[in-house]
């Protein structure tokens, strides 16, 4: 496992990541970027009750023995070769992340600060572009639930295989919704570009972030899809979109690219992050580049963005599993033990009791 840049205790960069040394899964220079820099604030209350401290959800083991990040990393190794895997992590998560990454090959980038999803993506692309400017890149969030994983892996392989025919496009994976969800981003498909096997690829009419319930229902009735934030494109296409939508950010990353492999690399990385504003990739890139977007519709996968605790329980119930935190919360409810936060408002505690009653119902349903 390699850390980029300058983490000496984790060995030096493998030669296989250099230009001309491609050994990707399909021999087409496929690289994977895993985004693991989020803070997981939406689940902070659950973490406090379950663990007694806040822990970003990508590092949590909700079921089984692997964290969400570890599930993602293992899944990614079926898409691209391990040495072509770049994982972006917040420097503040270093102590949590490193034990989970050991034994899993790949490259690690420690962000000096959280500057939004666009910065995390383009930081990784800076290194991919430096080592293989002709690469195809698959971008993976690390905190989403996917079942069965094999179906998603097969779908992403199909999408990667289509990139030579759509080399100037950004291909997104959209999920057919099974409910009206106001916390997700939505994709509105437009015209058909054709079929790849049994799957249709379509242009995108627009993107919609977290609509109200009425609007979400209208979008679903119109054939809207959930946006998984799984994306596939050539590194050059993504780089062009960056310059088109966020030229100031791209200028900083091109300064960094020139210093990769030199003794100034680490210093320049910190310097550009000090100058950098926060940017959201969905709002500031995707929504501004609809004309370059293509959506691949996926129906055979249970997918969920675990941004709410009840959604975690619901997803796992659908596959006959129970989250590890469930017993802990129910035990606390039965014994009446305090949860360590006496300062919470009556409204917050009432909301918690409602959730616990829901957990009891869902648990019985499982």
Q: Indicate if 125 and 176 belong to the same structural domain.
A: yes
Q: Taking the CB of residue 130, how many other CB atoms lie within 10 A of it? A: 19
pLDDT in tens, 193-217: 988 777 789 999 999 988 898 999 9
Average confidence (pLDDT) over 49-69:
91
Please give the tally of structural domains in the chain: 2
Note whether 65 and 191 are same-domain residues.
yes
Between the alpha carbon of residue 338 and those of residues 194, 219, 329, 335, the distances in Å are 58, 43, 11, 9
Q: How confident is the model at residue 333 (pLDDT cuts 50, 70, 90)?
A: low
What pLDDT, on the 0 to 100 scale, is given for residue 28?
A: 54
Same domain, 189 and 267: yes
Print the domain residue range for 97. Answer: 2-307
Rounded to whole angstroms, the Cα distance separating 179 from 193 reads 27
Of the chain, the end-to-end C-alpha distance in Å amounts to 39
CA distances from 18 to 36, 113, 306 (A): 24, 27, 36
Q: What is the pTM of this model?
A: 0.83
Which of 25-29, 239-243, 337-341 shows the highest mean pLDDT?
239-243
* Confidence tier at 352 by pLDDT (50, 70, 90): very low
Q: Are residues 249 and 356 in the same domain?
A: no
Q: What is the pLDDT of residue 357?
A: 45
Please identify, among 307, 325, 351, the residue that sits at the C-terminal boundary of a domain.
307
Q: Name the residue with higher pLDDT: 120 or 339.
A: 120
The residue out of 288, 307, 326 marking a domain boundary is 307
Q: Is the pLDDT of residue 340 over 70?
A: no
Strand pairing class (136-141; 225-234): antiparallel
Residues 171 and 127 in one domain: yes
284 with 335, same domain: the answer is no
Predicted confidence (pLDDT) at residue 62 exceeds the cutoff of 70: yes
| Residue 135 pLDDT > 80 | yes
If asked whether residues 300 and 356 sit together in one domain, one would say: no
Q: Are residues 252 and 350 in the same domain?
A: no
- Whether residues 344 and 213 fall in one domain: no
Domain shared by 283 and 195, yes or no: yes
My answer on whether 302 and 318 are in the same domain is no
Q: With beta carbons less than 8 A apart as the criterion, state whether 295 and 171 touch.
A: yes
Of 289, 307, 325, at which residue does a domain stop? Answer: 307
Q: Are residues 107 and 217 part of one domain? A: yes
Q: What CATH number did the domain enclosing 97 receive?
A: 3.90.550.10
């Amino acid at each position: 496992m390699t850390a980029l840049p300058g983490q000496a205790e984790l060995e030096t960069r493998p030669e296989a990541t250099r230009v001309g040394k491609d050994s990707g899964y399909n021999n087409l220079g496929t690289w994977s970027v895993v985004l693991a820099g989020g803070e997981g604030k939406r689940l902070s209350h659950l973490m406090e009750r379950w663990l007694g401290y806040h822990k970003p959800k990508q590092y949590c083991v909700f079921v089984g023995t692997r964290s969400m990040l570890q599930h993602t990393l293992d899944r990614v190794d079926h898409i691209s070769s391990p040495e072509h895997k770049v994982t972006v992590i917040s420097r503040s998560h270093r102590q949590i992340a490193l034990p989970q990454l050991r034994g899993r090959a790949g490259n690690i980038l420690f962000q000096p600060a959280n500057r939004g999803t666009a910065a995390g993506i383009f930081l990784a692309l800076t290194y991919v572009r430096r080592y293989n400017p002709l690469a195809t890149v698959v971008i993976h969030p690390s905190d989403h639930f996917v079942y069965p994983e094999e179906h998603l892996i097969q779908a992403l392989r199909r999408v990667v295989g289509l990139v030579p025919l759509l080399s100037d496009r950004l291909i997104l994976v959209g999920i057919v919704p099974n409910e009206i969800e106001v916390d997700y981003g939505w994709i509105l498909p437009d015209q058909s570009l054709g079929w790849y096997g049994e799957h249709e690829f379509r242009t995108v009419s627009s993107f919609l972030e977290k609509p109200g319930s009425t609007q979400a229902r209208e979008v679903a009735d119109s054939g809207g899809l959930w946006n998984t934030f799984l994306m596939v494109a050539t590194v050059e296409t993504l780089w062009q979109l960056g310059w088109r939508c966020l030229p100031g950010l791209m200028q900083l990353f091109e300064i960094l690219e020139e210093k990769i492999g030199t003794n100034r690399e680490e210093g320049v990385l910190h310097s550009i992050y000090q100058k950098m504003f926060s940017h959201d990739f969905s709002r500031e890139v995707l929504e501004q580049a609809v004309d370059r977007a293509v959506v691949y519709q996926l129906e055979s996968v249970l997918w969920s963005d675990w941004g709410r605790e009840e959604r975690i329980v619901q997803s796992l119930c659908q596959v006959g599993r129970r989250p590890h935190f469930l017993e802990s919360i129910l035990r606390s409810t039965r014994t009446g033990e305090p949860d360590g936060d006496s300062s919470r408002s009556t409204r917050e505690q009432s909301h918690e009791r409602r959730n616990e009653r829901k957990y009891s119902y869902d648990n019985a349903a499982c």
